Amino acid sequence: MKKIFMPWRKAAKIFLIFTVFMFAAISLVPIYWMFTTSLKETGATMRMPPEFFPSNATLASYRKLIASNYPVLRWLANSLAISFLTVAISLPISAMMGYSFAKKRYPLRNILFLIILATMMLPKQVSLIPLFISIRNMGLVNNYLGAALPLAAWPFGVFMLRQFMRTIPDSIIDAASIDGASELYIFIMIILPLSAPALACFAIFMFMAAWSDFMWQLIVLRNMNMWTTNIGISVISKVQVGGATVVDYSLSMAASCLAAIPIIILFFSFQKYFVKGIVMGALKD
């Protein structure tokens, strides 16, 4: 019986590998198209049928981008500053909330946790007006902190860290309490080191969320020197041709390639944490 099922198992494994390879290849098509479009001449980006391989590859769009009067490097620095600031603010807040929901017992704990999870289902546009009013009243419009604060308590981060911290044995916390350790000492010296993989994964996801944000940054950042790369790309790609405003897709894709470099480096440097994050996000009680 075992010999009969062996060929089927091998065929199923080959089919699975082929399917995963095809999906991986398809997912790389947008990146390939972005890069090849940045190497095309401005007029070649709209040709029909489209060119999958640039016939006359050129770096003119990159030279135009660097030589432009727009502060492109400043935009890139702003994106990095806001992303790192968002991680620095949200990491301790989400860690404390996750620890509270995972290891503490108090009335309405589960109901409060469900309410936090329910906020994940709300469209982001619903909270834009009250968020902007709050940020404006605090005087944080056109400020790094104003761009970073709305992501400070990300519900998904609270959920992910809570799920991981539930796997930490209660006996470790009880032993530290018997030895006279304070609650703050237990959290900083025991819980956080044991949760390092989850914290690293959460930091990566939060960095990506802040880096790819557009709508909120467009609302709260008014000065051109405070813009991020996402806002800058949306502006710099529009050019005037014969009195009409058109999109220079080659220039837009060149700017997008430069903006994607930090995320690509981040992904390949911490790839294993992405996998851990997906697994942790799938855990259930």
Together in a domain, 91 and 31? no
- Contacts of 10 by beta carbon, 8 Å cutoff, 6+ apart: none
Specify the higher pLDDT residue, 247 or 2: 247
Task: Give the lowest-confidence range in 37-46, 134-143, 271-280.
Answer: 271-280
Together in a domain, 49 and 94? no
Together in a domain, 20 and 132? no
pLDDT in tens, 77-95: 999 999 999 999 999 999 9
Give the mean pLDDT of 234-248. Answer: 70
pLDDT for res 88: 93
| Structural domain containing residue 119 | 69-281
Specify the higher pLDDT residue, 52 or 99: 99
Report the chain's terminal Cα–Cα distance, integer Å. 38
Give the mean pLDDT of 41-46. Answer: 74
pLDDT for res 239: 66
**CATH code, domain with 230:** 1.10.3720.10
- Number of compact structural domains in the chain: 2
Together in a domain, 24 and 138? no
Cβ–Cβ < 8 Å for 280, 199 = no
Together in a domain, 82 and 31? no
Together in a domain, 28 and 129? no
Question: Which residue in 266, 258, 245, 263 sits closest to 70, CA to CA?
Answer: 258
Together in a domain, 225 and 125? yes
pLDDT for res 277: 57
Average pLDDT, the chain: 83
Q: pLDDT-derived band of residue 276, with 50, 70 and 90 as boundaries? A: low
Q: pLDDT-derived band of residue 278, with 50, 70 and 90 as boundaries? A: low
Question: Scanning the structure block, which residue is given the tokens 């960095």?
Answer: 207
pLDDT in tens, 112-167: 999 988 888 888 888 888 889 999 999 888 989 999 988 887 888 898 889 888 88
pLDDT for res 5: 53
Token pair recorded at residue 137:
């009243």
d(CA 97, CA 116): 10
Together in a domain, 31 and 75? no
